[in-house]
Amino acid sequence: MTQTTTQATMSNASLPHASFPLQLYLITRRTLVTIFRTPAALIPPIAISVFFLVIYNSTLGKASSFIPDLGTNNYLGFILPLSIVSSSLSGAGVAAQNMVRDIETGYFDKLLLTPISRAALLMGPILAGALILGLQAHIVILVALLMGLKSATGIAGLYAAIGLAVLLGTGFAGFTISAALGSGSAAATQGASFIFFPLTFLAPTFVPLNLLSGWLEVAARINPITYVLEAMRAILNQGWDVATLGRALLACALLGTAMYALAVVALRVRTRRR
């Protein structure tokens, strides 16, 4: 069949419409408002992250003398990054759940009938997701500070860790939003969010990378989470390590770009007029 297709979001630039930054602001704010009006979706990710932090620290903390470079911190400084990363994973799912709801209620179609740019439709929820998981990372770090964490790089280092979590989470958000757009179903989106869960364990999760071997080491080396965990650990326990930080930023950038591209394709498919 040689049917022509055009994009439903296509709009004529000369027609009255909001500027791109304003569109992005409106969609992001609106997504945040709806997320905060369903607080039940926000609490489990934070609770689980804090739970893991406490459990891992108390079960493995005493037997962790083999882990080098912990500085003034104990095992807490090693396991905290895992907790932050897992909270950004689940936090990223919140934005996608919001988008699925929009598709199900038909509000998404309503937005498509306005002169809104495709990029704002995608980046709004991703940005909202990033802000949410930044907030979650704050809470997890606050709990760790109460448990006795000392950052080797001070407040700046803590914020660097949060920044990394946000960047990593943005990539996850791109993926879960692609799943939301592709499936239009809450169950499928939920399922897609779980794909990243094993990834947190195909990494130097409980021991440093140099103690891994065989297939797990190979998997860990191509897993972007590995580099984020290593950078966070270096920042928290040792000090600024530009090379490690650079690798983490690069890993986040690659993941983020790839996932955003995927989301763009998913949105194109969803909004194609047939």
Q: Establish if 33 lies at the interface with other proteins (CB under 8 A).
A: yes
Between 4 and 213, CB nearer to other proteins: 4
| Residue of 20, 72, 109, 254 interacting with other proteins (CB under 8 A) | 109
For the chain, strand residue ranges (E) read none
Structure tokens at 237: 């326990």
Between 25 and 159, CB nearer to other proteins: 25
Q: Establish if 8 lies at the interface with other proteins (CB under 8 A).
A: yes
Say how far apart CA 116 and CA 267 lie, in whole Å.
Answer: 13
Report the b/e string of 148-165 with b at 16+ CB within 10 A.
ebebbbeeebbbbbbebb
Between 1 and 222, CB nearer to other proteins: 1
Q: Establish if 107 lies at the interface with other proteins (CB under 8 A).
A: yes
Q: Establish if 28 lies at the interface with other proteins (CB under 8 A).
A: no
In Å, how far are 116, 171, 187, 252 from 32, measured between CA atoms? Answer: 18, 18, 22, 23
By CB under 8 A, the count of residues binding other proteins is 37
Among positions 116-155, residues that touch other proteins (CB under 8 A) are 116
Do 77 and 149 contact (CB within 8 A), yes or no?
yes
Options 109-117, 146-154, 166-174, 245-253: segment touching other proteins (CB under 8 A) = 109-117
Q: Establish if 114 lies at the interface with other proteins (CB under 8 A).
A: yes
Report the b/e string of 67-82 with b at 16+ CB within 10 A.
beebeebbbbbbbbbb
Residues 6 or more apart in contact with residue 95 via CB below 8 angstroms: 31, 35, 125, 126, 128, 129, 132, 173, 176, 177
Between 8 and 188, CB nearer to other proteins: 8
Report, in Å, the least distance between residue 47 CB and other proteins.
Answer: 22
Positions touching other proteins (CB under 8 A) are 1, 3-6, 8, 10-12, 15-18, 22-23, 26, 30, 33-34, 37-38, 101-102, 105-116, 273-274
